[in-house]
Structure 1
Amino acid sequence: MGSPAVSQNGHPAACRAREVLIRIGDKWSMYVISQLGERTLRFTELKRGIDGISQRMLTVTLRGLERDGIVSRTVYPVVPPRVEYALTPMGRTLLESVGALVNWAEDHLGEIQGSRTAYDTRD
Structure 2
Amino acid sequence: MVELPDVHIDPGVPEPDLLVGPPEAAQSFGPATVDSDADGRPDTAVVSEPGDPGALTLATDLDGDARIDVLTRVHADGTATTELLDDLGEAAAAPWDEGPVPPPPTIDPASGRWVRDGAGG
TM-score w.r.t. structure 2 length? 0.21
Larger relative strand fraction = 2
Kindly indicate whether structure 1 or structure 2 has the higher relative contact order, using CA contacts under 8 Å at least 6 residues apart: 1
Larger relative helix fraction = 1
Q: Which has the larger radius of gyration?
A: 2
TM-score w.r.t. structure 1 length? 0.21
